[in-house]
Structure 1
Amino acid sequence: MKKLLLLAGDYVEDYEIMVPYQALSMLGYQVDAVCPGKKAGEYVLTAIHDFEGAQTYSEKPGHRFTLTADFATVREAEYAGLVIPGGRAPEYLRLDARVIALVRAFADRPIAAVCHGAQILAAARIIEGRTVSAYPACRPEIELAGGLYADIAVDDAVTDGLLVTAPAWPAHPRWLAQFIAALGAQVSI
């Protein structure tokens, strides 16, 4: 069974952690969801972000997402790829040197980042010269890190090598399909 690592933190976007976790598990991957400072069986709080006509997304309380592995014991060599959901978690996770080192270790493997997950990619300095999508408010960080911001529809995704990114959860079908392709798997419907 192939293993994937999913990076979580409190106030991760609800859909952006729940849907990839469930979809990738359904495809037969062991998805180890981890958070710095927390262990398997503990949880992170999620936030539900929605697009309701305001100048930015709205935020509502989400669910408790149960972690499936311990961040402190992760051995990156065991994983085929990395998933970085968005929400508010990336803004503080990117301050953790262990998170940055972990993300850099995946630079030569498939990485799927959505929404504010690009904040972690920028902090890890692995996007220079690469095309990256994210929630539009992350554009300055992508460009300051040397990335090329992909201004695409909210339900679209972009792949640059093994890096798959998207602006927000409405892109899940395309984002996950492109990530699965980057992992070398095929899904037929």
Structure 2
Amino acid sequence: MTVTTAQRITFEEYLSYEDGTDKRYEFNDGELVVITPATVFHNDLMMFFAFFLQSETNNSHHPYCVRVNSTEIFNGKRTRRPDVLVMTLTQKKGLGNQPDILHEPCLLVIEIVSPTCRSVDTVEKRQEYAEFGIPEYWIVDFLLGTFSVLSLVNGTYIEKVYREGDRIASDIFPSISLSMNQVMASI
């Protein structure tokens, strides 16, 4: 849901925006977009991926940082707060004590498809993340039982869809062993 303010706000105003509620927003070219709270199931999936990827990062000694629904990415017009995001440690250090917003592509984003936001998660964000240059985008659709890994090639995502016991392949995490069955069994 987009919240229309009396005046369009700037990105700098967004960074310190406070309306006295617990609502979370994304910035969309001067307007605020309310972020719907996640379901328990959605939160469980986010935490599974965060723990799984953090374990993989630690075991493989990747210089990565895993974030759950906290770091935003800003493409110059709008922000997005992916369910799970993987950035480099250099990117994390570069944030310092600034707002937790990346202005350059992270390595990987994961979106868990919400039934009420299906087209946002699978169409809008796909286009935005590709334009922003995010190398890998995972779409987890528990209603369809699919796990898609999208790899950016020449500005366009090439999608590979996995089901049930299929082991996914990731360029960012080449040694992982993960299937949709494992994901579903974990929650």
Q: Please give the range of the TM-score, normalised by the shorter of the 2 chains.
A: 0.3 to 0.5
Could you tell me the TM-score, scaled by structure 2's length?
Answer: 0.36
Structure of higher CA gyration radius: 2
Higher RCO, 1 vs 2 (CA within 8 Å, ≥6 residues apart) = 1
Structure with higher strand content: 2
TM-score by length of 1: 0.36
Instruction: Identify the structure with the greater helix proportion.
Output: 1
